Structure 1
């Protein structure tokens, strides 16, 4: 199946690590003009150099929690490649704690990255899609936002908001030729340290890595009907599909769990 992404300009927030990295590389292989929007410029540049696709990859240092930074990203993308066709909101951050053990500062960080970031980027890029009469919004949420997840109260709440927001936007801009969808990962693990940078949650939180024993991870896999965790590439394949008008042009307002069957709705 041809995705028809050649020459399309697509912005990938959090495009330097794990799911975002795989998405950036996959879109470049499809011939898209990719902009990696990430705070970790060093890791983003490594991804750009790693790419073997025909599509170019540009890097823009971006803080999605700042509307000013995101507007600068939109201006950068316009200078580099022209009108943005696709926005893939992949950036996310979480650390796992019972709600009573968290603090307002923690809530603010989780909310700013996972929820405000989606508002900022959509606000910055949607007007040019409306003017062009075409475009795709793709937000990475989480199965935690669909069912609730132990020790992820604030994160799950943010992701639930993203799911509802995407549906509402799909209704508002569908008549204008723009689609909006959500992909929900379950546990998605990097296969090597090369897949994430120093600023990634995989390097900075207690959620993954050496903080979880191999035995615990194996037990956790039993919660998944496919008995395995996802990889960045698993998600990237679904993201690329939903960004394609040719392959997924009649799909909007939907939420797709790419989680090995962890959630079935």
Structure 2
């Protein structure tokens, strides 16, 4: 990891909202300088930066639309510039691949365009973000990829999404083996249904769905972004130095 005299640094993709926003704030509170990637919502990114700074941390935002051809280069350039401005160094300690999209379709309605979009953002983008930023990632660094319980439980109506998360987890295991000699750990967190902006409107409109989702967990409640963020923060910490290639479910015991 970075020397004790240097601030730890982190990049969270999709960090302006939902789980990503919670991860950003959690890492900011731990003292990391956080690069917050966003795709289109600059206002949400500005709010995330302000939240970290209000808590005494340091953060900056970087825009890159992961559906665009040059997105990874744009992201890397912005991250490198921001790190130098805030720390005087290009070094990156933590990379959290959180950005992702859903796709509600089963085998009868799934289209080629659906698969292309989901795999481009949920699989291709994390792979090439890692490839592009690997020269910046310090020995002893941390990579955390955000997957889903949908990779373990059959969810026919989100088929392509579940497939993409399965591919992401395969990538994580292989990457862990390759980067181990550098002391870099690579792990996956797999959330269940989390009450983010993405789900909140639907759950409020259909309280019976919210009650059913809560009943599936061991604790009888819906997951919150902070529940996932704490798990990510642990895997990003020095305390997780002997954990790599693992999948950590953050589902509250759903589907036991």
TM-score, structure 1 length as denominator?
0.86
Distance in 1, matches of 2:7 and 2:117, equals 35
Matched residue, 2:47: 46
- Segments of 5+ residues of structure 2 without an aligned counterpart are 84-89
Matched residue, 2:121: 113
Residue 165 of structure 1 aligns to a residue whose secondary structure is: helix
After TM superposition, the structure 1 = structure 2 runs for residues 58-97 of structure 1, keeping only pairs within 5 Å, are 58-66=60-68, 68-81=70-83, 82-97=90-105
User: After TM superposition, which residue ranges in structure 1, 4 or more long, deviate above 4 angstroms?
Assistant: none
The Cα of 1:263 is off from its aligned counterpart by: 4.6
Q: Does 1:140 align with 2:132?
A: no
Between 1:32-41 and 1:94-103, the stretch displaced more is 94-103
- Segments of 5+ residues of structure 1 without an aligned counterpart are 191-195, 197-201
The Cα of 1:9 is off from its aligned counterpart by: 1.1
Query: Are residues 256 and 155 of structure 1, via their aligned partners in 2, closer, same or farther at CA, if it must alter by over 3 Å?
Result: same
Structure 2 counterpart of 1:168, from 174, 184, 196:
174
Q: Does 1:228 align with 2:221?
A: yes
Aligned length: 244
Q: Which has the higher contact order (CA 8 A, sep 6+)?
A: 1
The Cα of 1:109 is off from its aligned counterpart by: 1.6
Q: Does 1:149 align with 2:151?
A: no
Residue 103 of structure 2 aligns to a residue whose secondary structure is: coil
Q: Deviations over 1:141-166 (max 9, x none)?
A: 00111233231111001101111110
Matched residue, 2:86: none
Query: Are residues 113 and 5 of structure 1, via their aligned partners in 2, closer, same or farther at CA, if it must alter by over 3 Å?
Result: farther
- RMSD of the alignment, in Å? 2.0
